[in-house]
Amino acid sequence: MTITTEKSKEIVLAFYERYNARDVEGAVSYLGETYMQHNPWVTDGPEGFRRFVTFLRDNFPDGRNEVKRVIAEHDIVCLHVHSRRVPGETGRAIMDVFRVDERGKIVEHWDVIQAIPDNIYPPVNDNGYF
């Protein structure tokens, strides 16, 4: 049985809500046992993700991520995110890519992270990051 695009989006957004709230166990409950992490600073498996979210919760308790866009096709869901570890910082622009298996578990994650500069140099357009 293949998973639908809408169901994949629903699962990833529910997972991200728990992650954003720093609800470690709530977020981990959405992961498959074979969760593969392509971010080189996070180890594979639910335990690696658990350590990562615990680190964020303990070191950046006021950090939040705002989902700007959701793009999905079948089992792949992409989130375009504005991430701030502390209130008021410019933060980071992130593209998170998730793969959801046929059981409805997130089993793979990729991300691309771009720091948003404090405009040391003025931008040459007004398009912004989002």
**Spans of all domains in the chain:** 5-115
pTM: 0.92
pLDDT at 119: 72
Instruction: Locate 104 and state its tokens.
Output: 């409805």
pLDDT at 1: 64
* CA–CA gap between residue 93 and residue 22 (Å, rounded): 19
pLDDT at 118: 82
Query: Which parts of the chain register pLDDT below 70?
Result: 1, 120
pLDDT (tens digit per residue) in 52-70:
999 999 999 999 999 999 9
Which CATH code, of 3.10.450.50, 3.40.50.620, 3.30.420.480, 3.40.50.720, is assigned to 5-115? Answer: 3.10.450.50
In whole angstroms, what separates CA 83 from the centre of its chain?
A: 9
